[in-house]
Chain A
Amino acid sequence: MSKKPVVQSVEEKVYSEGGMDFLLTRQRKFVTVYLPLAVFTFILLFPFYWMTITTFKSNDDIYNYEKNSPFWVFNPTLHNIKKLLFETSYPDWLWNTFLVSVVATAISLFASVLAAYAIERLRFKGSRWIGLSIYGAYLVPPSILFIPLATMVYKLGLFDSRWALILTYPTFLIPFCTWLLMGYFKSIPFELEECALIDGATRVQILWKIVLPLAVPGLISAGIFAFTLSWNEFIYALTFISSSENKTVPVGVLTELVDGDVYHWGSLMAGALFGSLPVALLYSFFVEYYVAGMTGAVKE
């Protein structure tokens, strides 16, 4: 028997927090959930704690655990930080890292937005194939590329310059960002673009006025991710840069703060801490975008 079709309005599903949680007793939940979680958190965060308190310890405290408990700073000192900032090229490294990361990110975002839009939305001939090869490019690790890249960088006269890094970082940033943005573009309804097409917009106008404003979360995700990946990059920076003032933070801290067999753990830890803080801060502002970016890139 035919009935009138009942069209329901689309409602977002909200899963209730808690749900069957009442079936668990409080003690049981403490043992099965909170205790293991606390252990995980402790182990995952301890190295940062250790890094931080070592930074503020005097040499005496660093090397003598018997006098004072090693887990706290009893005579806080800025000595290690002062040494780092004024007696080494650390400020240069910070500046280099920042500059390289920002420029490489900008280039990569520009190229990725166009590529992702072309692959996902223009659907030109062979776009599927190109989309897959971009994914393949994402799987090529830097550790098999750095030797031939080093010879190229040398031949192009870019050795020991920031340009060597700015031009090579996009090789891992573009595949990542393109893949991420393709996911975001995919979620924008086709009808919006069709409607704009009828409204008289060209493809470039559609990209600029409709798609990009709607993909802002994706752009932020891709941007901060690209920035962080550039900031953390190590093997290219280690291989392509030789003079101290051109190094990036990760390379500088490791290669310049160790003289001979003497490890100045205080300033090493200060260098590690201050190199981590910018990304940690950026991260703290954009946690949700990081998580979205990470899980988004994995999901496809």
Chain B
Amino acid sequence: MAKSSSQSLLDRFNNSANALGLVFMLPAAAILLVFLTYPLGLGLWLGLTDTKIGRPGVFIGLENYRSLFNDSVFWLSVFNTIGYTAVASVFKFVLGLILALLLNQNIALKSFMRAIILLPWIVPTTLSAIAFWWMYDSQFSIISWVLVKAGLIDHYIDFLGDRWNARISVVVANIWRGIPFVAISLLAGLQTISPSLYEAATIDGATPWQRFRFITYPLLTPIIAIVMTFSVLFTFTDFQLIYVITRGGPVNATHLMATLSFQRAIPGGQLAEGAAIAMAMVPFLIAAILISFFGLQRRAWQQGSKD
């Protein structure tokens, strides 16, 4: 008969949740600590030095932040980032929700539709941004050509040369790329709502709008909160679209904090200043996460739906 003393050391180890847990966590923890946690701290430190490419810096306290405070281009990028995020997120949410509701109808080729609609999100952003860049070309823009042919405008639109045109153009490209993510995620949420709720509401005399307002929306709130938190986060830290389409131009009109940080640090060589700009995004990010997450989360909780 087996006795507990015959248990080998390996057996003990294999069945000890703490020891085994530690070993299992090791690879992931090592990579994340070295290449994520450490650089996060290093970035904070760099922002407090005067490091340049090829020259190690010394601690200069908040000097970088002080000079950024008086830097109109930095404030322009903050303004742009907030505006870009706010406008794009609102449109992505509204259009994404509409698309999700459409896809949730009983339609032909449903899964095929769902598949092709995700394409903008799957394809490398840089590459689809290049396509937008081409569509926004000042001389050969297909959009301008169609509008002129239709008689709606009489000369080609200068999409990327004018400050506000450029801003609108990059926001449109961002919305285009973000809609599928919002739509498909919300669709997944919609599909968890039991049709019998709609049937009951219809029998109770609810109009389609009332069904949306009193059933769909409240039950969808938790997932909306999470989807929009992600959407806001990704939009706020966006880099690729701007870098490809405008590189921050014309005259810094479309610089986001991320692109300005890159601009100053890598081509400009001012690593410390770039790091400071990047770190300046953190409070905004935390605020955005807290607002969108807890704000909507609490409402979901008040309405009694379980996460």
A and B touch in the complex (CB under 8 A): yes
Task: Decide if A151 is an interface residue (CB 8 Å cutoff).
Answer: yes
Given A202-B15, A232-B125, is A268 in contact with B134 using a C-beta cutoff of 8 Å?
yes
Chain B neighbourhood of A295, CB < 8 A: 184-185, 188-189
Distance A174 CA – B21 CA, assembled complex (angstroms):
17
Nearest B residue (CB) for A146: B262
Query: In the assembled complex, how far is the CB of residue A15 from the closest CB belonging to chain B, in whole angstroms?
Result: 5
Asked if A44 and B180 sit within 8 Å, CB to CB, the answer is: yes
Asked if A114 and B117 sit within 8 Å, CB to CB, the answer is: no
Distance A96 CA – B276 CA, assembled complex (angstroms):
32
Partner of B102, one of A40, A110, A141, A253: A40
Which residues in chain B, 98-146, are within 8 Å of chain A measured between CB atoms? Answer: 98-99, 102-103, 105-107, 111, 113-120, 122-128, 130-132, 134-135, 137, 140, 142, 145
Given A47-B176, A143-B237, is A115 in contact with B46 using a C-beta cutoff of 8 Å?
no
Which residues in chain A, 178-202, are within 8 Å of chain B measured between CB atoms? Answer: 178, 202
Instruction: Annotate B191-226 by CB proximity to A: 1 below 8 A, 0 otherwise.
Output: 000110011001000000000000000000001001
Asked if B115 and A143 sit within 8 Å, CB to CB, the answer is: no
Query: In the assembled complex, how far is the CB of residue B54 from the closest CB belonging to chain A, in whole angstroms?
Result: 10
Asked if A122 and B20 sit within 8 Å, CB to CB, the answer is: yes
Task: Decide if A216 is an interface residue (CB 8 Å cutoff).
Answer: no
Chain A neighbourhood of B128, CB < 8 A: 47-48, 51, 272, 276
Asked if A287 and B36 sit within 8 Å, CB to CB, the answer is: no
Distance A129 CA – B124 CA, assembled complex (angstroms):
34
Can you report 26 A-B residue pairs in the complex whose CB atoms are below 8 A from each other? Answer: A20-B202, A21-B106, A33-B105, A33-B107, A37-B113, A40-B179, A47-B120, A50-B142, A114-B24, A122-B17, A123-B17, A123-B21, A137-B32, A139-B233, A141-B258, A147-B271, A151-B271, A152-B38, A152-B39, A167-B31, A171-B32, A202-B14, A204-B20, A239-B262, A268-B130, A279-B122
Distance A149 CA – B199 CA, assembled complex (angstroms):
55
Nearest B residue (CB) for A275: B127
Query: In the assembled complex, how far is the CB of residue A123 from the closest CB belonging to chain B, in whole angstroms?
Result: 6
Instruction: Annotate B15-51 by CB proximity to A: 1 below 8 A, 0 otherwise.
Output: 1011011101111110110011011101100100001
Interface-lining segment among B85-93, B160-168, B279-287? B279-287
Query: In the assembled complex, how far is the CB of residue A281 from the closest CB belonging to chain B, in whole angstroms?
Result: 10
Asked if B131 and A203 sit within 8 Å, CB to CB, the answer is: no
Asked if B239 and A287 sit within 8 Å, CB to CB, the answer is: no
Given A44-B117, A178-B28, is A148 in contact with B40 using a C-beta cutoff of 8 Å?
yes
Asked if A50 and B145 sit within 8 Å, CB to CB, the answer is: no
Asked if A174 and B31 sit within 8 Å, CB to CB, the answer is: yes
Asked if A234 and B132 sit within 8 Å, CB to CB, the answer is: no
Task: Decide if B174 is an interface residue (CB 8 Å cutoff).
Answer: no
Chain B neighbourhood of A70, CB < 8 A: 142, 145
Chain A neighbourhood of B285, CB < 8 A: 139, 141
Chain B neighbourhood of A122, CB < 8 A: 17, 20-21, 24
**Chain B residues proximal to chain A, CB less than 8 Å:** 11, 14-15, 17-18, 20-22, 24-29, 31-32, 35-36, 38-40, 42-43, 46, 51, 95, 98-99, 102-103, 105-107, 111, 113-120, 122-128, 130-132, 134-135, 137, 140, 142, 145, 176, 179-181, 184-185, 188-189, 194-195, 198-199, 202, 223, 226-227, 230, 233-234, 236-240, 243-244, 258, 261-262, 265-266, 271, 274-275, 278-279, 281-282, 285, 289
Distance A239 CA – B24 CA, assembled complex (angstroms):
32
Asked if B18 and A125 sit within 8 Å, CB to CB, the answer is: yes
Nearest B residue (CB) for A233: B124
- Output the residue of A48, A235, A298 with the most chain B CB within 10 A: A298
Asked if A254 and B46 sit within 8 Å, CB to CB, the answer is: no
Nearest B residue (CB) for A207: B24
- 3 A-B pairs with least C-beta separation: A124-B21, A141-B237, A295-B188
Partner of B35, one of A50, A167, A204, A287: A167
Task: Decide if A250 is an interface residue (CB 8 Å cutoff).
Answer: yes
Query: In the assembled complex, how far is the CB of residue A249 from the closest CB belonging to chain B, in whole angstroms?
Result: 7
- Output the residue of A234, A238, A290 with the most chain B CB within 10 A: A234
Partner of A37, one of B31, B107, B119, B227: B107
Partner of B42, one of A21, A148, A204, A268: A148
